[in-house]
Structure 1
Amino acid sequence: MRYSQTIAGTTHEFDGLVELMAKATPRRSGDELAGCAADSDAERAAAAWQLADVPLSRFLDEPLVPYESDEVTRLIVDTHDRTAFTEIAHLTVGGFRDWLLEIASRSDAGERLARVGAGLTPEMVAAASKIMRNQDLILVAAAARVTSAFRTTIGLPGRIATRLQPNHPTDDPRGIAAATLDGLLMGCGDAVIGINPASDSPRATADLLHMLDDIRQRFEIPMQSCVLSHVTTTVDLIERGVPVDLVFQSIAGTEGANKGFGVTLDILREADEAGRSLGRGTVGDNVMYLETGQGSALSAGAHLGTGGKPVDQQTLETRAYAVARLLRPLLINTVVGFIGPEYLYDGKQIIRAGLEDHFCGKLLGLPMGVDVCYTNHAEADQDDMDTLLTLLGVAGAAFVIAVPGADDVMLGYQSLSFHDALYVREALGLRPAPEFESWLARLGMADGGGRILPVDPGESPLLPLAAGR
C-alpha cells in the first residue's frame, strides 16, 4: 500500500509501511547508513504525520518482515492476543499515543497498560514511539509496571537495580574479586553480578561461575550471577552440574540476525527450560538474561523487510522484544550506545534511543533496563550519560549497568560507575531491590531508607574479597 502526505504544497510518497516507518523515525546514523532515513526534516515530518493516521490494525495486515521467511514475524503474528487488542483496535497510531498519555495519568495505569500489552505487536509500539516526544516516552514508561524475580525482585516502583559488571581483560579472579568488592560496598549488584568473559571457553566460564557462587554463599548475598557466554555453552555447563543462575544471550529482531548470534527460537526455549529446571531461585523463577541493541540486525546484514526494503533499526530493535517476551526474562537491557556511532552518532541520538527502547520494552511487558553507554569514537561524553541515566530513573527503568570508574577495561567502552548508581538513587529517592537492601542493612552498609553508608573497607565483613580469599 502506498501512503502520501502533503506539506506546504509538496506531496511526499511512501511505498508501504516499511518505508513510512523508516522515514518517520527521528534522525539516526544507522538508518542513514542503511539508506532508509528521511532525506530532509520536511520528509520526516510528512512521514510522521501520515504514520499518525495509520490504523493499528494495519500492522496485522501488512507485515514489515515477511511471515513466510522470518520466524520472529511468525512468533509475533501467531502469539498476538486479539482479545487484549480489542480495547485499542479502533485506534490509529496517533490515537494510540493520545490513549497512552491519557491512561498514564490514571491511578490504575499500570493495570490498564498490562492488560493491553499482549494485544500489542512490536511494530505498533515502535510506530507510537516515533511520534512521541521524549517526555511522552518517559511519562508512559513510568506508569507501566513490570516485575520479575529470581533471588531479588526487579522492577518494583521506587527502586532501581544495578548489574555489577566486574570485567577483566584476562579473567583474572583477583581483578574480578576486587571490582566485585568495590561494587558491593557501593550497593551495586542487586540485578546481577555479570561478567563478560574474555573468551567463550567452557572451562573459564565454569571457573568464574564457581567463584561467583562461592562469593554468594560465603557472604549470604541475595543475588544472582551470570557469565555472559553463548547460550549453548551455558546449557552444556548446566548439564555438567555447574552452578548456573541466569542464562545469557544476545538477541535481535529478525531470524537472520539471531542466526548471526548462533541462536534460533527453539534453542532459546530449550535454554530457558534448562535454567528453570535447576530451581535455584528463591523468590521467583525468571532465569534468562537478554541483551539487545539498535543496529545489530544491520550489522549482521539481516535488516531487509517486505519488498527487500531496509527496515529502520529502532523497529527491528523493538521486534527483538517479542523474542524476549517469549522467554519471560529476569533481565533484559539494550546496550544503547555500545555498537558505535555508525548506528547512534552522538549523545542526542543515544539519549533518544535509550528512551525509545525502554518505553517499547516496558509497554511490551518486559523488565527493561539500559546499559547507559557510549564508545570512545562517538560524539558523546559522560554528561550525556548523566542526562540519560536521570531520565531513565524518572521513567522507572528496572536496572542499569555499572562498572568500576565507568570505564570497562575489557570491552573498551564507557558505561556508568558505581558512584553514578548512588547518584540516581539519592537524587530521585530510589532504592535497591528489597532483598538486597535488607542484606546491605544487615551488614551495616545501608540505613533504614536504603541509603548506602560509608564503610571503611578494612572493617567491612566483605574484606576477604579484597585479598582474593
Structure 2
Amino acid sequence: MLAAASALRSGDELAGLAAASATRRVAARWVLADLPLKAFLNEAIVPYESDEVTRLIIDSHDAAAFAPIAHLTVGGFRDWLLSEAADEAALAAIARGVTPEMAAAVSKLMRVQDLIAVAKKIRVVTAFRSTIGLTGRLSTRLQPNHPADDPRGIAAAVLDGLLHGVGDAVIGVNPATDSVPAATTLIRMLDELRERYAIPTQTCVLTHVTNALTIMERGAPVDLVFQSVAGSEAANAGFGIDLAVLREAHAAAQALGRGTVGQNAMYFETGQGSALSANAHHGVDQQTMEARAYAVARAFDPLLANTVVGFIGPEYLYDGKQIIRAGLEDHFCGKLLGLPMGCDVCYTNHAEADQDDMDSLMTLLTVAGCSFLICVPGSDDVMLSYQSLSNHDALYLRSIMGLRPAPEFEAWLEQAGIAAPDGTLRALADGASPFVRQLAETIS
C-alpha cells in the first residue's frame, strides 16, 4: 500500500513496486488515508527480529510524544499538520513520537505546497561553532572537492567559497581516496586554515566512520564525524557500518569537546535508492526506506543531515520532476522527525534533468525553511562528476528571501571585511580589507 501510494519513481518501477496506473495510485492513497497511525506501531514493514533499524525505531518510540496524535488516521494527521494547531511548539513536541513510516505515509498524501507549508513551520536548531537552523537564516556547506586531493586546489576552492559568504554549516571535503593518511592531511590543513583566521565554522573530511575513529585515536583535530546511512540493517552493512560503530564514533567525537557554541558533532548523508541499490529494501518503496534512514541519523543528534537527492542517478529518480518531489519529501520527513535537514540539490549528467530543475528545487526548499544547502564552485563537482549548486546560488537565495548565514559566521564575514554590515559582499578588487588580501595571498 505504501509503495502503491507513492508518487511515481523510477526506482520503485525498477523494484516492481510502483502502482501500475494512476487509478491504482489514487486508490492506494484513499486506503492509506483511513489507516490509523497506531498501525505502524503494531505492524513492522521490515521485521523487528532481523533488523536493528526497526528495533531502533520501535524501542526508541516516545509514547508520550505520540499521545496527542495517537487517535488520528494518516489522513487526519495530514489535516492536523496543515492546521493552525500544528504550530512550531506542537510540531517539536510530537517529533519523537512520529516514526519514519508515519512521516513517509503522510507525505504520500501531500501536494508540493503541503510539504512546503508544514516544513516551514518546523524549526530544528543545532550548534557546534556556528548555530544552524535559526529563523531568517540559510546556511551552506562549502564543498571544495579535488580529483587528486591536492591541498592547494582544495584551499583555492575554500577561498572562493569564503569570499562568497559560503561555508557556515561546514567546510566539507569528499576525499578522492579512502586513505587514512590522505584524510588526516586534509583534516589538519582545513583546521589550520580555520584556526589561523578564527573562522567560526566546522570542518569535515567525509571519510568512512571507521577511518574517522582511527584518525581521532591518532590525535588529529576532527570536528564532525561523517557517515552515509540507510534505512535497513542490511543496507547499512553495505556501507560497512552498524549502529554500534556509530555509537562508538559519536562518543569519541563528543569526548573531544571541540565545539564552542554546541556539541552536535555528527554529519549524516542519505539518498533515495540506496537500500534498493544494495538489494536491502525488503520489498519497501524507496521513499519509505529513505525516511527510515532518518531514524538512524536522529539517534545521534547530528549537527547536519542532508539528502543527496539526485546523486544516485536516474535509475531511482528519473527526471527533474521526480527529483524535485523527492527533495521536498525528504526535507519534510526529516524535519518532521526532528532532524536539522539540508539538501544537496543535484543531478547526474545522464539524468533527464538540468539546472532549471535545480533552480526550482533550491528555491522551493529555501521557502520551506531548509537548514542548509551544498555549494560547489561553478555548480560542477570536479571530483564526484555531478551537478550541484554554486556559491552564487546561495547569494541569489539569501538575496531574494532576505536570509543571512549563521550569526557567528555573519559576524566574522563583517569583521573580516568580506561582507558589509547589511550583508552585501565586497568584491576582492573593490576596496577589500587587508584581511581578505592576506587570506588570498596565504592560500595562493
TM-score when normalising by structure 2: 0.98
Q: Secondary structure at the match of 2:299?
A: helix
> Does the CA contact (< 8 Å) of 1:177 and 1:465 recur in 2?
no
> 1:84: Cα distance to partner?
1.0
Residue number in structure 2 paired with 1:245:
223
Residue number in structure 1 paired with 2:245:
267
Matches of 1:69 and 1:463 in 2, distance apart? Answer: 58
> 1:298: Cα distance to partner?
0.4
Q: Deviations over 1:263-307 (max 9, x none)?
A: 000100110110111010000000001000000000011011xxx
Task: Say which of 33, 41, 45 aligns to 1:52.
Answer: 33
Residue number in structure 1 paired with 2:96:
118
Q: Secondary structure at the match of 1:194?
A: strand
Matches of 1:81 and 1:432 in 2, distance apart? Answer: 33
Matches of 1:144 and 1:362 in 2, distance apart? Answer: 7
Q: Deviations over 1:377-423 (max 9, x none)?
A: 00000000000000010000000000000000000000000000000
- 1:295 and 2:273 correspond: yes
Residue number in structure 2 paired with 1:427:
400
**Taking every aligned residue pair, what percent have the same amino acid on both sides?**
67
- 1:349 and 2:330 correspond: no
Residue number in structure 1 paired with 2:424:
451
Structure 1 residue ranges without an equivalent (≥5): 1-19, 305-309
Matches within 5 A, 1:3-82: 20-82=1-63
CA RMSD of aligned residues (A): 1.2
> 1:450: Cα distance to partner?
2.6
> Does the CA contact (< 8 Å) of 1:432 and 1:450 recur in 2?
no
Residue number in structure 2 paired with 1:407:
380
Matches of 1:444 and 1:376 in 2, distance apart? Answer: 38
Matches of 1:432 and 1:171 in 2, distance apart? Answer: 28
Partner amino acid, structure 2, of 1:175: G
Residue number in structure 2 paired with 1:173:
151
> Does the CA contact (< 8 Å) of 1:431 and 1:451 recur in 2?
no
Partner amino acid, structure 2, of 1:287: A
Matches of 1:450 and 1:90 in 2, distance apart? Answer: 47
Matches within 5 A, 1:114-263: 114-263=92-241
Partner amino acid, structure 2, of 1:22: A
Matches of 1:316 and 1:268 in 2, distance apart? Answer: 19
| More deviation, 455-464/369-378 | 455-464
Matches of 1:178 and 1:343 in 2, distance apart? Answer: 34
Q: Secondary structure at the match of 1:448?
A: coil
- 1:390 and 2:368 correspond: no
Matches of 2:386 and 2:298 in 1, distance apart? Answer: 28
| More deviation, 43-52/458-467 | 458-467
Partner amino acid, structure 2, of 1:159: R
Matches of 2:205 and 2:424 in 1, distance apart? Answer: 28
> Does the CA contact (< 8 Å) of 1:368 and 1:398 recur in 2?
yes
Matches within 5 A, 1:329-340: 329-340=302-313
Matches within 5 A, 1:313-324: 313-324=286-297
Matches of 2:116 and 2:212 in 1, distance apart? Answer: 35
Partner amino acid, structure 2, of 1:55: P
> Does the CA contact (< 8 Å) of 1:402 and 1:417 recur in 2?
yes
Residue number in structure 2 paired with 1:7:
none
Shift in CA distance, 143/321, structure 1 to aligned 2, threshold 3 Å: same
Partner amino acid, structure 1, of 2:176: A
Partner amino acid, structure 2, of 1:211: M
Structure 2 residue ranges without an equivalent (≥5): none
Shift in CA distance, 465/205, structure 1 to aligned 2, threshold 3 Å: farther
> Does the CA contact (< 8 Å) of 2:428 and 2:437 recur in 1?
no
> 1:443: Cα distance to partner?
1.4
Q: Deviations over 1:13-69 (max 9, x none)?
A: xxxxxxx00000000100000100000000001001110000000111111100000
Residue number in structure 2 paired with 1:93:
74
Q: Secondary structure at the match of 1:206?
A: helix
> 1:324: Cα distance to partner?
0.6
> 1:449: Cα distance to partner?
3.2
Partner amino acid, structure 1, of 2:34: D
